[in-house]
Structure 1
């Protein structure tokens, strides 16, 4: 049986790799990465990116199987990202930028899937 700490460490490494893939994907599409893994008292935002007058607070989800991406994100997780984004908004949107919450799904041997503006209560 594998040790729980080793499993957590592998998941952490997988998450960091996925965030790097997602950041690269965003850069290729004209985004500038402003921050990574920003923690607040209400949640964490994996990436904060800007393109033009738009700031995206991005949740990155990685799965080892592409079929598991369909269930990787849920309302509860998005609600935590939105709560964190509300706290961070004034810091990253100082010049009246629009803001939205995006999700990027990452799985081996496939291009990342970018889901823009997934939270409409922001």
Structure 2
């Protein structure tokens, strides 16, 4: 039997992309179980992205989803750069959906790790932090 060749960088990127899609789908499902209505998924702009926009009552949550080997690694992966890019995308989303701007707005994180339930960190950071 011939030895297996290591995966190419392109195939690794595709696999990571698919894991990310599954993580975001699981996070959206988790939010729905908690009574949220999903307003948008994968809202992308040239300056940033919001993984999930969800509403429950008078609150709109802009959610960053991170999947890593441990929940702690997932939480640490939300860097200041990630937050700035997310904030830029949120400003554009609100400009396109002005009716939601009057509601309570917050930034959440959903951390995922294999074999663990999702960890929803409510109000994980404030704008400009």
Worse overlay, 56-65 or 42-51: 56-65
Alignment of 1:26 onto 2:15: no
Against the structure 1 CA distance between its residues 68 and 121, is the aligned structure 2 distance closer, same or farther, given a 3 Å change threshold? closer
SS of structure 1 residue aligned to 2:92: helix
Q: Is the 8 A contact 1:32 1:51 kept in 2?
A: yes
Against the structure 1 CA distance between its residues 99 and 77, is the aligned structure 2 distance closer, same or farther, given a 3 Å change threshold? same
* CA root-mean-square deviation: 1.6
The TM-score normalised by the length of structure 2 is: 0.86
1:42 to 44, 47, 53: 47
Against the structure 1 CA distance between its residues 40 and 70, is the aligned structure 2 distance closer, same or farther, given a 3 Å change threshold? closer
Question: Which residue of structure 2 lines up, in the alignment, with residue 94 of structure 1?
Answer: 99
The TM-score normalised by the length of structure 1 is: 0.90
Any stretches of 5+ residues in structure 2 without a counterpart?
1-5
Q: Is the 8 A contact 2:61 2:107 kept in 1?
A: yes
Q: Is the 8 A contact 2:75 2:109 kept in 1?
A: no
How many Å apart are 1:72 and its aligned residue? 1.8
Against the structure 1 CA distance between its residues 102 and 67, is the aligned structure 2 distance closer, same or farther, given a 3 Å change threshold? closer
Question: Which residue of structure 1 lines up, in the alignment, with residue 21 of structure 2?
Answer: 16
Any stretches of 5+ residues in structure 1 without a counterpart?
none
SS of structure 1 residue aligned to 2:127: coil
How many Å apart are 1:29 and its aligned residue? 0.5
How many Å apart are 1:71 and its aligned residue? 2.4
1:65-86 Cα offsets, whole Å, 9 max, x none, are 4453242211111111111111
Tell me how many residue pairs correspond in the alignment. 122
Against the structure 1 CA distance between its residues 41 and 108, is the aligned structure 2 distance closer, same or farther, given a 3 Å change threshold? same
Question: Which residue of structure 1 lines up, in the alignment, with residue 11 of structure 2?
Answer: 6
